[in-house]
């Protein structure tokens, strides 16, 4: 039994979008407020893994888990998925924290946050270790077997993850057949759905629902929504049985 807490479920802008006065951004429903997408996995042994570490991570952890982190798995290096890495600093002093990502993502992290990874003796830098991972090569993080899965994000190859009976895919446009095969019939699928209208670098709702139909999980949760998806309560009526929009703070057990 593990627990997944959705720390954030919004696209790169978050919702409300700065400067926007649309109906969704003005909504008073807490489910219409979405921080940048990331999730916290709590293992049955009480250890903690975060999936992506965006710019809202500090406030997300203060709200949901103000304690140790045993590993970070990263899908890709866009700012909304790595912008909070420096905020792991104070949590890293005790034992260091292992980050797991593709090689190109590790290169991007070294460029974005050079002081974190250049082994300098500057005081109080985070103790972060970069671990390069490869598609379909299962790794062990905090006692959990985790398999990186290839998906594409526009032209960019990025990673989704299978963790036991959970598959977590964000920012995908195309899910290749070998990834579908690796997660077919899984219990819980978390998958991105940007908005109703198509978008070149993220699946829209129709594409996400088609992917869910192919993967055929028992239940699916949608993440990485734009304000253009509309109000949570209204858009939820468009979803078939077994599919729901995740919202910030939602916790599920798998």
Strand partners, 36: 10
Residues 194-233, mask of contacts with Zn ion (x by CB under 5 A)? ---------------------------------x------
Could you say whether residue 17 binds Zn ion (CB under 5 A)?
yes
Q: How many residues does the chain have?
A: 254
CB 171, min distance to Zn ion, A: 4
User: Assign residue 163 a region: left if phi > 0, alpha if psi is -120 to 50, beta otherwise?
Assistant: beta
Could you say whether residue 156 binds Zn ion (CB under 5 A)?
no
Is residue 140 packed enough to be buried (19+ CB in 10 Å), middle (13-18) or exposed (0-12)?
Answer: exposed
Q: How many residues bind Zn ion (CB under 5 A)?
A: 9
CB 82, min distance to Zn ion, A: 10
Closest CA to 191 of 216, 165, 212, 163: 212
Residue 208 CB-half CA count within 13 A? 34
CB 13, min distance to Zn ion, A: 9
For residue 16, whether the previous peptide bond is cis, meaning omega lies within 30 degrees of 0, is yes
Residues 83-122, mask of contacts with Zn ion (x by CB under 5 A)? ----------------------------------------
Region from 41-49, 73-81, 126-134, 159-167 binding Zn ion, contact rule CB under 5 A: 73-81
Query: What 3-state DSSP class applies to 242?
Result: coil
Contacting Zn ion (CB under 5 A), which of 33, 78, 102, 162? Answer: 78
CB 104, min distance to Zn ion, A: 13
CA dist 20 and 192 (Å) reads 22
Instruction: Kindly tell me which of 162 and 224 has the beta carbon lying closer to Zn ion.
Output: 224
Instruction: Kindly tell me which of 3 and 31 has the beta carbon lying closer to Zn ion.
Output: 31
Residues 21-50, mask of contacts with Zn ion (x by CB under 5 A)? -x--x-------------------------
Query: What 3-state DSSP class applies to 5?
Result: strand
Evaluate the CA torsion angle 230, 183, 146, 78 in order and state its sign: negative
Contacting Zn ion (CB under 5 A), which of 32, 98, 171, 248? Answer: 171
CA dist 10 and 223 (Å) reads 7
CA dist 117 and 71 (Å) reads 16
Instruction: Kindly tell me which of 17 and 139 has the beta carbon lying closer to Zn ion.
Output: 17
| Contacts to Zn ion by CB under 5 A | 12, 17, 20, 22, 25, 78, 80, 171, 227
């Amino acid at each position: 039994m593990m627990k997944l807490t959705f720390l954030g479920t919004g696209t790169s802008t978050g919702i409300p979008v700065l400067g926007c006065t649309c109906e969704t951004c003005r909504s008073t429903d807490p489910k219409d407020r979405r921080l940048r997408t990331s999730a916290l996995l709590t293992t049955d042994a009480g250890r903690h893994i975060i999936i992506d570490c965006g710019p809202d991570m500090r406030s997300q952890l203060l709200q949901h888990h103000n304690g140790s982190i045993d590993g970070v798995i990263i899908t890709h290096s866009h700012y909304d998925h790595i912008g909070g890495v420096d905020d792991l600093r104070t949590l890293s002093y005790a034992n260091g924290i292992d980050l797991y990502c593709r090689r190109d993502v590790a290169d991007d992290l070294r460029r974005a946050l050079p002081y974190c990874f250049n082994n300098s003796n500057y005081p109080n830098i985070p103790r972060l270790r970069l671990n390069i991972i490869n598609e379909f090569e299962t790794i062990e993080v905090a006692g959990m077997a985790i398999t990186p899965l290839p998906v594409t994000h526009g032209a960019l190859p990025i990673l989704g993850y299978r963790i036991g009976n959970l598959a977590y895919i964000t920012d995908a446009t195309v899910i290749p057949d070998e990834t579908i095969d690796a997660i077919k019939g899984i219990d819980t699928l978390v998958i991105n759905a940007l908005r109703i209208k198509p978008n070149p670098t993220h699946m829209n709702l129709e594409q996400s629902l088609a992917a869910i139909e192919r993967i055929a999980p028992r239940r699916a949760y949608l993440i990485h929504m734009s304000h253009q998806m509309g109000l949570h309560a209204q858009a939820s009526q468009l979803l078939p049985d077994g599919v729901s929009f995740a919202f910030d703070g939602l916790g599920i057990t798998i």
